[in-house]
Amino acid sequence: MTTHPANQQFDVIVVGAGPAGSAAALLVARAGLKVLLLERGEYPGAKNVSGAVFYGSAILNELIPNWWEQAPVERPVCRRDIAFMSPTTAVALDFRCAGAGFATAPYNGFTVLRPKFDRWLAAQAEAAGAFVLTSAVVDDVLRENGRIVGVRVRREQGEIYGKVVIACDGVNSFLAKKAGLQREFHPHELSLGVKEVLGLDPAIIQDRFHLTDNDGIAYEYLGAITEDVHGGAFLYTNRDSLSLGVIGQVSSLVERRKRPYELLERFKAHPAVAPLVRGGKLREYSAHLIPESGWAMKPKLYTDGMLVAGDAAGFCLAAGLYLEGMNYAMQSGLAAAETAILACQKGNFSARTLSVYQKNLKQRHVSTDFRAYRHAPSFVNGPRLQNLYPEMVAQGMEQIFRVDGAPKRKILPLAYRMVRQSSIKPGQLLRDVYQVARAYLW
């Protein structure tokens, strides 16, 4: 490798200061290596959007004990709701847990606001010794003799060299594409999330959502909420605001000719949602893509001199019950950092050395989780789970509860009749039951 001016040569260059990048930079810096964290935003988090429930509390706790005491967190999530919607009704599963690990340390998850959270996390990496440079957009990788030796920042004299590059540049992952590790995506592999933050008095939030003190709740919605667009919706409580949004598969938005922000308005107007958001004052509107297809859009994860982590590697579990990306971003960022540290110790940055990354991902349960849930995305985005079943559940409940003088029917015959009346064939139903089981049970 040719030598470069000392201040332009790093051990590790991390691109993107989201949870993946900042966690990676933090770990590399703690190992005493020279690490540069490049971020295109005015500050880390300026470009980033999540729901956001951060389910990586335990992971971060290993790096920064009692991190929630100093980080900008909103509320620990102690209740989770899954709601199945028809246009006028909703059936919800409500999970409450005041027990160990949910409302107490290390907590299961926290709602966060990304611009604040990401900024804090990057500052932790900086405090550990990482060089954090904002307002720096990376356009390309640099190669020498076929291997990646650095990146090009879109500024004069923008070439900068590092022994390992870790691409944590998020869902659009231009870097992985430039390195030839990722292909172009199809519109059915990505979903667009549009989101609003609505300001609301903390006392009203506690009353309205039956929350004790600072506890928080996370709602996920399936079914008619997105009309016939494949997707879902969410509503989370922050300290003095609500975060809510609608997620829609890009291809199905195109097919149905639906504008995402109009879906968002319909969501807020749904009779099950309207009372929850009443009186909220719009503070911010935002939009971002989600890599929905998980395992199916995983790039080649490493090459000579480079690793890919986080959303850029498709490590985002967005499948009905789950909307988890930040925790996997962090886990994969850490796995990449461990790999880069090892390579620096060995002084060897070939793809072969970096292939340890796969083992590290397994150890951190990233690849195992994604392999396990590899069937979930395509099933969740299938038309029946998207629209038919949630609506059937919701309507079925309506019939069970309706008192109109007609004879009461027991639940099984009722369900049988509803299936008969719908367009679902019994064989299909059985296959779907099998698929749900395969996607989520084993």
Partner 1 sequence: MRIAVCLKYVPDPSTIEVDPLTGMIDIGRVLYMMNPADESALELALRLRPPDGTVTVFSVGPIEADRLLQDALAAGADAALRVWDDALGSLKPIVTTTLLAAALRVKALPDLVLCGGHSVDRGSGTVPALLAEHLDWPVVTDVTQFEIQSGRLRARRRLARGARAESEVTLPAILGLETGLVHLRQASLPNLMRVKYTPIPLYGLEELGLSPQDLHFPAMTLHEVMPPRPRARMMFTPDVGGSVQERVAQIMSAGVAGKAGKILESGTPEQQADAIIAFLCQRGFLEQPT
Partner 2 sequence: MVMTTHEEKMRTVRFRVGATPHIVVNSEICRNECSVHACVYVCPANLFVPLDDGGILFNYEQCFECGTCYIACNQEGAIRWSYPDGGYGVTFRES
Ligand X SMILES: Cc1cc2nc3c(=O)[nH]c(=O)nc-3n(C[C@H](O)[C@H](O)[C@H](O)COP(=O)(O)OP(=O)(O)OC[C@H]3O[C@@H](n4cnc5c(N)ncnc54)[C@H](O)[C@@H]3O)c2cc1C
User: What is the binding site for ligand X (CB under 6 A)?
Assistant: 15-21, 38-41, 47-55, 137-138, 168-170, 174, 193, 195, 245, 288, 290, 310-312, 316, 323-327, 329
| Number of continuous H segments (helices) and E segments (strands) in the chain | 17, 19
Rounded to 5 degrees, φ, ψ at 110 are -125, 145
Instruction: Return d(Cα 365, Cα 384) in angstroms, integer.
Output: 30
Site string for partner 1, 129-148 (x = CB under 8 A): --x-x-xx------------
Closest by Cα among 402, 384, 320 to 83:
320
Residue with tokens 């064939």: 425
Element (H, E) at 300: none
- In the complex, what is the shortest distance from the CB of residue 180 to partner 1, in angstroms, rounded to a whole number? 24
CA nearest 10: which of 40, 41, 36, 31? 36
Closer CB to ligand X, residue 49 or residue 217? 49
By a kind-dependent CB cut-off of 5 to 8 A, residue 156 interacts, out of partner 2, ligand X, partner 1, none, with: partner 1
Q: What is the footprint of partner 1 within residues 237-296 (CB under 8 A)?
A: 283
Extended beta strands in 227-305, E state: 231-237, 241-249, 281-291, 302-303
Shortest Å distance, C-beta 243 to ligand X? 8
Token couple for 261: 């922000």
Using CB under 8 A as the binding rule, whether residue 212 contacts partner 1 is answered as no
Residues engaged in binding partner 2 (CB under 8 A) = 40-43, 45-50, 113-116, 134-137, 139, 153-155, 171-172, 174, 185-187, 190, 192, 194-198, 241, 243, 250-251, 253-254, 257-261, 265, 268-269, 274, 277-289
362 scored as a contact of partner 1 (CB under 8 A): no
Shortest Å distance, C-beta 141 to partner 1: 15
265's contact among ligand X, partner 1, partner 2, none, with CB below 5 to 8 A by partner kind, is partner 2
- Is the torsion defined by CA of 3, 9, 13, 16 positive or negative? negative
Cα–Cα distance for residue pair 235/212, rounded to 1 Å:
18
Q: Which of 13, 15, 153, 344 binds partner 1 (CB under 8 A)?
A: 153
Helix 19-30, helix 114-127: angle, nearest 10: 10
Closest approach of ligand X to the CB of residue 44, in Å: 6
Q: Which does 157 bind (CB under 5 to 8 A by kind): ligand X, partner 1, partner 2, none?
A: partner 1
Nearest distance from C-beta of residue 396 to ligand X, angstroms: 29
Question: Where would I find the H helices in 163-271?
Answer: 174-178, 202-208, 250-256, 260-269
Gap between the Cα atoms of 345 and 348, Å rounded: 8
Antiparallel, parallel or unpaired: β 302-303 and 73-85? unpaired
Residue 157 sits in the site that holds partner 1 (CB under 8 A): yes
Task: List the interface residues with partner 1, window 60-79 (CB under 8 A).
Answer: none
Toward partner 1, which CB reaches closer, 46 or 105? Answer: 46
Longest dimension (CA), the chain: 87
Hey, what are 319's tokens?
Answer: 């499948």
Which of partner 2, partner 1, ligand X, none does residue 269 bind to, with CB < 5 to 8 Å depending on kind? partner 2
Q: What's the min distance (Å) between Cβ of 159 and partner 1? A: 8
> Applying CB under 8 A, which residues contact partner 1?
7-8, 131, 133, 135-136, 153, 155-160, 283
